[in-house]
Structure 1
């Protein structure tokens, strides 16, 4: 049973969140824990024997299955620890978003043509158990979909030349995954604080290519999740919220084929780094974030964002994190204030071994850029 303080922003019978004064989701992603993105930690990637490989798929193929399983097990056992979860709570965070791949359900993998590490489930159980014990809310995110939902993206788990997800047989594999994950969440006590499942992270930003995802996969996933819950006797009050990327993402209106959106939730990713409409200067960034309206589909969580700026200026004198901590603190506050006009936010990411706090929440707190008292940003608002 999920016995938490209810979020006032969601229907009263359908949400769970540990008590917080803000009533908002304030969280971090566990990036690279279960889907390794090499850019986040080249050193760890190399130590695993994966140097020069673009994705988990490529590394497993290069190392061989048994050697890869051992290397990834060592990574899963060390990248996020129980001390990290405790530190998140100390820093005022109440939520984690966990990116996982469909290969977590190992019988979905085509053994003759797909190559992914095995054995991740026990480590997923471990981290959700720690988070549940710490009273954190958990979003389970299908970050890597069958066939890859984006081309040439390590976050899908495979550096695929084309996006192969958008066809019926791949949707079926994703449906089997979300059905299995739903059953696992409700039957495994360690998953007791998982209150939301995301159907697919960052699908293509092409309305036509994503058409069958909206018309077929989304409504079918809702049906499979609700049928699984009904078969387990799960009450409406304990039903999972089902999350999709919102319309602002660019894949079309996720609700267009849904008969009932009462238990839907939406994910919005906001990186000014790649927004060419905002002038690249500090005051423009502050102004843009202060005025940012992430409204639309409701309720929306800004599930990915960072303090990173365009590559061509990021190490220049005006933007170097070492000499511009005051600006980054103001910009962090401006973004939080904007995103808390919605249901809240989940920063990307908790840990990044880059020597750059702009992608690492943990490092940004240690650098004094992010305050441990998150409510204090309203006392010193830059907006």
Structure 2
């Protein structure tokens, strides 16, 4: 196979510094509420936009889908452009740098790749990918590495959640049609990471945020996991990035990247039909993005320097996220792979609602060890926070922050939800336990994320078993 040339010298030099391998320890935040808007995090702004919040989010305007359907494409595009401009800014990036953050996980909806949306039946604002490009450039310039998280999947991956973009019980992600759209999204985003210098700090791409926990309700999810990895690796092989354990089964004879994807899609003897269809579908989308985002290398990789040889880290929620005999994502691994787990005590079902029970639980957490036994390593905790089911004192929140950081640092590290939440009269005290930036300001979280107020906080709670 002939290697394709490409990328600019800027991309090559930036990625040499920033990308490719995991930080030795992840100290991160989610950039949530931005490109997937969750109204509970910014209730005053959402109200000013014309949205609403109710007990059952499927019955009011409490998602991007509901908003766009109610107000139409023009108003939705205008209002969300304003939100994307103001919710995540250079000032926020500067604060994260000052607070020692080295990783950002960016939740994304499938609709950020706009041709994947069926506009007659699906309703989402347009234009977000331009803001994503600006955001990852700011993070790259600041030396913060990035995980692109497919947070809201086509067809909706879990019921009754505004974080899926459409709060509904009609879950349709686990179908051939929507699996295929998710693979096309994957091919597009992998291509951007490798060919757009703005994405130079992206080191991982996450397949599905929080699928349904009952594996009996996620048919063929294990097949999708393997196809997700194959799609990422097929794009990389098309770019001449070596990947052990998989081959294209096709000859690439052009430096035009989108044409090369077509060659592989049409001629590969090793990739299955689903992966080849995703590559073919991604090619015309990338032609349009080359103009929209001003990335000529998407069309001709000879326009820059050499293609970076660093494979992305494919990422999944760990096997223990699901029950009822789930597929093991480790079985899908080809090349570097990471695993994500989320842990919130505030929703119940983890520990009794009192400080002692919380600390006894977190100080004896064995998730890193249990996951390692089935090959799910490295593991990081991609979502956690300080919320509790009881009225927490300032003293307890400092202990709670320390204890969680100690537990999660047994693995590859942690990513707090969220970098910030709204501070307003309507939001009340929300930021006290949900905002990383405010947690640092209030002293619950240490200014240096590797530090602790009391590194011995767990000693009295650890049990011999």
SS of equivalent to 1:36: coil
Shift of 1:256: 6.3
Is the 2:398–2:453 contact (alpha carbons within 8 Å) kept by the matching residues of 1? no
What residue is the counterpart of 2:27 in the other structure? 26
SS of corresponding position for 1:377? coil
TM-score using structure 1 length = 0.90
User: Please, which moves more after superposition, 350-359 or 64-73?
Assistant: 350-359
Matches within 5 A, 1:1-383: 1=12, 2-4=15-17, 15-17=21-23, 23-51=24-52, 52-214=60-222, 216-235=223-242, 237-250=309-322, 252-255=326-329, 257-258=331-332, 260-295=333-368, 296=371, 297-310=376-389, 313=390, 319-320=391-392, 324-353=393-422, 354=427, 355-356=429-430, 357-377=432-452, 380-383=455-458
Contact 1:333–1:381 at 8 Å: present in 2 too? no
Q: Distance in 1 between matches of 2:86 and 2:456?
A: 37
- Conserved? CA contact 1:5–1:16, under 8 Å: no
Bigger CA radius of gyration:
2
Residue aligned with 1:358, SS: helix
Give secondary structure in 1 for the equivalent of 2:381. Answer: strand
The two structures, once aligned, show a CA RMSD in angstroms of 1.7
Cross-structure match for 2:279: none
The 1:256/1:326 distance shift into structure 2, 3 A limit, reads closer
For residue 374 of structure 1, give the secondary structure of its aligned residue in structure 2. Answer: coil
Give 5+ residue unaligned stretches, structure 1: 7-13, 18-22, 314-318
Alpha-carbon distance in structure 1 between the residues aligned to 2:124 and 2:18: 38
The secondary structure found in structure 2 opposite 1:32 is coil
| 3-state SS of 2:346 partner | helix
What CA distance in whole angstroms lies between the structure 1 residues aligned with 2:37 and 2:449? Answer: 29
- Say which SS state the counterpart of residue 346 (structure 1) adopts: strand
Match of 1:11 in 2: none
Q: Is the 8 A contact 2:151 2:209 kept in 1?
A: yes
Q: CA deviation at 1:374?
A: 2.4
Distance, in Å, in 2 between the alignment partners of 1:162 and 1:117 is 21
Instruction: For 2:398 and 2:327, locate their aligned partners in 1 and report how far apart those are by CA, in whole Å.
Output: 34
| Alpha-carbon distance in structure 2 between the residues aligned to 1:5 and 1:292 | 31
TM-score (norm 2): 0.74
Aligned residues: 359
CA distance in 1, matches of 2:417, 2:179: 27
CA distance in 2, matches of 1:203, 1:36: 19
Give the deviation of 1:35 after TM superposition.
Answer: 0.7
Higher normalized contact order (CA 8 Å, seq sep 6+, divided by chain length)? 2
Write the deviation string for residues 233-283 of structure 1: whole angstroms up to 9, x where unpaired.
23555110000110121152433652x454221110011223424121112
Measured in 1, the distance between the counterparts of 2:225 and 2:68 equals: 31
> How far apart, CA to CA, are the structure 1 residues paired with 2:114 and 2:328?
28
- SS of the equivalent of 2:235 reads helix
Distance in 1, Cα, partners of 2:449 & 2:219? 39
| 1:123-157 Cα distance to aligned partner (Å, 9 max, x none) | 00111000000001100000000000011110000
Aligned 8 A contact 2:402 2:454 in 1: no
- In structure 2, list runs of 5 or more residues that go unmatched: 1-11, 53-59, 244-308, 459-465
Whole-angstrom CA distance in 2 between matches of 1:294 and 1:269: 11
Q: Determine the structure 1 residue equivalent to 2:301.
A: none
